C-alpha cells in the first residue's frame, strides 16, 4: 500500500469505497504521520488517536454494512476553536485551562454524523486573533514549506503557516490529515491556505452554524474547510454547512451539491478585477500571479472586467474597530468564575484582573482593550458607529459590483509566508496580512483561496475569488479552473518527519 496520507480526500473516499484499504488502516497511517511529524510542525495541540481509531472501527462497520455516510472513515483535523464533546477545547488560550465541553459544535457534529474521523485538535492563534499562528498558548505552528535558494537548496528558516488557522493549513499541507476545519473572521481560512498551498473557503456569513465555536467577533466569524484540493473543499463544506435554529444568524436556505459545480463551464462568467486591490508597493510576483489568474479564467471562456470597490481602503481600519469591539464583549465570559483558569486574588476585582492578565496573551489583551475603548461612552459614535457605516458602504460596493460581474478575483495575501518574528513585533504589519481578505468578512460574502503558483523563493501564493451571497457553487467552478491551470502544489521535502520540535 502506497502512502495513503498523500491521497486527496476525494481519492481516499474512492479507496474506501473500493476497499483498497480500511478506515482503520487509513486512520492508522495518519496517526503515525502525526506521531512522526507533529513535534516539528506543532500543528496538533491535542492528537486524539484512540478516539480516532474507535471512530474508524465504527466507520469500517458501517462501510461493511452499506450504511456509510458521505465522509465515512475520512480522518480530519479539528481547529481548537470548535467545541468537541469530551475533548479538551481551549481556543489555544490559557484562560480556558483544561476546559472540556459537554457539547459538540454543530459543524463538527455534522462532520461526525457524516462518518468523519477526528484525528485531534489543531493549533491556532489564541482566540483566532493573529495571522501567523504565533499567539497560541501552545506555541507557534511551523509551515511545512521552506524557502528555496536559487541553487535549489532548502533554507532552514522556519516560516509561519498563516493564521489564525495555522494548525489547519500546516496539517493539510503536511498530509497530517485529509482536510481540516477552520474559521475565518478577517482571513483566517484564506490567508493560511494561501501560505501553505492549500485550498480554503470562507462561506457566506450564515452558511455554517456558529453554535459551539468559541466566538471571536460574532458578526464576522464563519467556519469553513482547509483542504488539499478544490474538490475536497467542496465535499467538506457540503457537510459542514447547514441551517441551525440554535444560531439566530444562520440562514435557512438549502445547501447545494457543491461537488456537482466542479467542472462546470465558466464560459461567459463575468470576472471583476478591482483596481483598489492594486495596493502601493505590491510585489511584482503577486501582480504576476494575479495576471496569470486573469489569463486562466479568460482562457476558460470568462470575461474580465475592471471594477471599482471604492471603500476598500477603509475596510481594514473599520475591521479593527468592529472585530475588537465584539471580541471585548465576547471574551468577557472568561472571568475565572465558572470554568477555565482562575487566579485567586484579594477580592473579586483582583481575581478578575489576575485571571484575565494571566489567561490572555498580549494580542488578545490588545484587542480587548481596543474594543473596550471604541465602545466607551463618548467614543462609540466616532468609532463603532462610524465603522458600521463603513461596513454598509463596503457591502454596497459589492452590491453595485454584482450588477456587472459574477465573481471578483484578487490575490489572497500581499506576500508569501514570512519568518517567525518578522511581523510579530509590528501589529500593523501583521494586520496588513488581511488587507485583501477582510472586506469579504465585512460584507458577509463567500471567498475562496486557491493556490496559483510559487513565489521566487519557492513558497506558495494564493488567488482569492469572491462571490455573491450563497453562491459558493460558482466559486468552486471558477476555483477548479484555476486549480486545473495552476496545478497542485505539494511540499517536495518532508523535512519534518522525525524532526524534533
Cell of 357: 492578565
Task: Kindly state the smallest distance separating residue 211's Cβ from another protein, in Å.
Answer: 5
CB of 326 to another protein, least distance (A): 5
Whether the Cβ atoms of residue 499 and residue 43 lie closer than 8 Å to each other: no
Compute the least distance from the CB of residue 465 to another protein, in Å. Answer: 26
- Sole residue written with cell 479507496: 15
99 binds another protein (CB under 8 A): yes
For 72, residues 6+ apart whose C-beta sits below 8 A from its C-beta are 13, 16, 23, 59, 62, 63, 114, 115, 116
Question: Quick check: 211 binds another protein (CB under 8 A)?
Answer: yes
Q: Which is nearer to another protein, 385 or 497 (CB)?
A: 385
Per-residue interface string for the shown chain with another protein, residues 247-276, x marking contact by CB under 8 A:
xxx---------------------------
> Is residue 218 a contact residue for another protein (CB under 8 A)?
yes
Query: What are 241's three cell numbers?
Result: 454547512
**Minimum distance from CB of 487 to another protein (Å)?**
38
Burial class (CB within 10 angstroms; exposed 0-12, middle 13-18, buried 19+) of 254: exposed
- Binding-site member from 9, 12, 87, 96 for another protein (CB under 8 A): 96
The answer to whether 221 touches 257, Cβ cutoff 8 Å, is no
- CB of 423: closest distance to another protein in angstroms? 28
Q: Which residues ranging from 298 to 337 are in contact with another protein (CB under 8 A)?
A: 325-326, 328-329, 331-333, 335, 337
- Within its chain, how far is the Cα of 497 from the centroid? 24
Q: How far is the CB of 60 from another protein (least distance, A)?
A: 31
Is residue 148 part of the annotated active site? The answer reads no
217 scored as a contact of another protein (CB under 8 A): yes
φ, ψ of residue 93 to 5 degrees: the values are: -120, 140
Q: Within 10 Å of residue 250's Cβ, how many Cβ atoms?
A: 20
Question: Which residue is listed with cell 463618548?
Answer: 378
Please say which residue, 103 or 421, places its beta carbon nearer to another protein: 103
Residue (27 or 94) nearer to another protein, CB: 94
Candidates 210, 311, 423, 468; binder of another protein (CB under 8 A) is 210
Query: DSSP per residue over 223-250, as a string?
Result: EEEEESSHHHHHHHHHHH----TTSTT-
- Calpha distance 126→137 (Å, rounded): 7
Q: How far is the CB of 87 from another protein (least distance, A)?
A: 13
The 10 Å CB-count burial string (b at 16+, else e) for 98-126 is ebebeebbbbbbbbbebbbbbbbbbbbbb
Active site residue 329: no
| Nearest distance from C-beta of residue 113 to another protein, angstroms | 18
The widest CA-to-CA distance across the chain, in whole angstroms, is 70
Q: Which stretch binds another protein (CB under 8 A): 25-33, 289-297, 368-376, 416-424?
A: 368-376
103 versus 153: smaller Cβ distance to another protein: 103
Q: Return the number of the residue (49 or 97) whose C-beta is nearest another protein.
A: 97
Question: Which one of 18-26, 309-317, 370-378, 453-461 is the stretch in contact with another protein (CB under 8 A)?
Answer: 370-378
The Cα-based distances of 491 to 39, 171, 196, 443, 454 in angstroms read 18, 12, 9, 34, 11
Cis ω for the linkage preceding 164 (within 30 of 0): yes
Told to judge if 477 belongs to the known catalytic residues of this protein, a careful annotator would answer: no
Cell numbers found for residue 150: 536559487
**Candidates 168, 188, 209, 477; catalytic one:** 188
Please identify which residue in 376, 382, 493, 498 interacts with another protein, judged by CB under 8 A.
Answer: 376
3-class DSSP state of 82: strand
Among 295, 348, 358, 369, binds another protein (CB under 8 A): 348
- 213 near another protein, rule: CB under 8 A: yes
Residues assigned a catalytic role = 79, 164, 188
List interacting residues with another protein (CB under 8 A): 83, 89, 91, 96, 99, 101-103, 105, 210-215, 217-219, 245-249, 325-326, 328-329, 331-333, 335, 337-339, 348, 352, 372, 375-377, 380, 384
Amino acid at each position: 500500500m502506497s502512502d495513503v496520507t498523500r491521497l486527496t480526500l476525494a481519492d481516499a473516499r474512492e479507496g474506501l469505497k473500493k476497499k483498497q484499504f480500511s478506515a482503520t488502516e487509513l486512520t492508522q497511517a495518519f496517526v503515525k504521520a502525526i506521531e512522526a511529524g507533529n513535534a516539528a510542525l506543532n500543528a496538533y495541540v491535542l492528537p486524539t488517536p484512540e478516539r480516532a481509531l474507535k471512530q474508524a472501527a465504527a466507520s469500517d462497520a458501517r462501510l461493511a454494512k452499506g450504511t456509510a455516510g458521505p465522509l465515512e472513515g475520512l480522518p480530519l483535523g479539528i481547529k481548537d476553536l470548535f467545541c468537541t464533546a469530551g475533548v479538551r477545547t481551549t481556543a489555544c488560550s490559557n484562560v480556558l485551562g483544561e476546559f472540556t465541553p459537554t457539547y459538540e459544535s454543530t459543524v463538527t457534529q455534522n462532520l461526525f454524523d457524516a462518518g468523519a474521523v477526528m484525528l485531534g485538535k489543531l493549533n491556532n492563534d489564541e482566540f483566532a486573533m493573529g495571522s501567523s499562528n504565533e499567539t497560541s498558548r501552545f506555541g507557534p505552528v511551523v509551515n511545512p514549506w521552506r524557502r528555496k535558494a536559487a541553487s535549489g537548496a532548502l533554507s532552514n528558516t522556519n516560516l509561519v503557516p498563516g493564521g489564525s488557522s495555522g494548525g489547519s493549513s500546516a496539517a493539510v499541507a503536511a498530509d497530517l490529515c485529509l482536510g481540516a476545519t477552520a474559521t475565518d473572521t478577517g482571513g483566517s481560512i484564506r490567508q493560511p491556505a494561501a501560505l501553505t498551498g492549500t485550498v480554503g473557503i470562507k462561506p457566506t456569513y450564515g452558511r455554517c452554524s456558529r453554535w459551539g465555536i468559541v466566538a471571536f467577533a460574532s458578526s464576522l466569524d464563519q467556519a469553513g474547510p482547509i483542504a488539499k484540493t478544490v474538490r475536497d473543499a467542496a465535499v467538506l463544506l457540503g457537510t459542514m454547512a447547514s441551517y441551525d435554529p440554535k444560531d439566530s444568524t444562520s440562514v435557512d436556505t438549502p445547501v447545494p451539491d457543491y461537488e456537482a459545480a466542479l467542472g462546470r463551464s465558466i464560459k461567459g462568467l463575468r470576472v471583476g478585477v478591482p483596481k483598489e486591490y492594486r495596493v502601493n508597493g505590491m510585489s511584482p510576483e503577486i501582480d504576476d500571479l494575479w495576471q496569470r489568474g486573469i489569463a486562466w479564467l479568460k482562457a476558460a471562456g470568462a470575461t474580465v472586467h475592471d471594477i471599482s470597490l471604492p471603500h476598500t481602503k477603509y475596510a481594514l481600519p473599520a475591521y479593527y474597530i468592529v472585530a475588537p469591539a465584539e471580541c471585548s464583549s465576547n471574551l468577557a465570559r472568561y472571568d475565572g468564575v465558572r470554568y477555565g483558569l482562575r487566579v485567586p486574588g484579594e477580592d473579586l476585582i483582583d481575581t478578575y484582573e489576575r485571571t484575565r492578565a494571566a489567561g490572555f496573551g498580549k494580542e488578545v489583551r490588545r484587542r480587548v482593550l481596543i474594543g473596550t475603548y471604541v465602545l466607551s461612552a463618548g467614543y462609540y459614535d466616532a468609532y463603532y458607529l462610524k465603522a458600521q457605516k463603513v461596513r454598509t458602504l463596503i457591502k454596497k460596493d459589492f452590491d453595485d459590483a454584482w450588477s456587472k460581474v459574477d465573481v471578483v478575483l484578487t490575490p489572497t495575501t500581499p506576500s508569501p509566508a514570512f519568518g517567525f518574528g518578522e511581523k510579530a513585533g509590528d501589529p500593523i504589519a501583521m494586520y496588513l496580512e488581511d488587507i485583501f481578505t477582510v472586506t469579504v468578512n465585512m460584507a458577509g460574502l463567500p471567498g475562496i483561496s486557491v493556490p496559483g503558483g510559487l513565489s521566487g523563493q519557492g513558497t506558495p501564493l494564493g488567488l482569492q475569488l469572491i462571490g455573491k451571497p450563497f453562491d459558493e457553487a460558482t466559486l468552486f467552478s471558477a476555483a477548479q479552473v484555476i486549480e486545473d491551470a495552476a496545478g497542485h502544489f505539494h511540499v517536495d521535502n518532508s523535512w519534518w518527519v522525525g524532526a524534533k520540535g
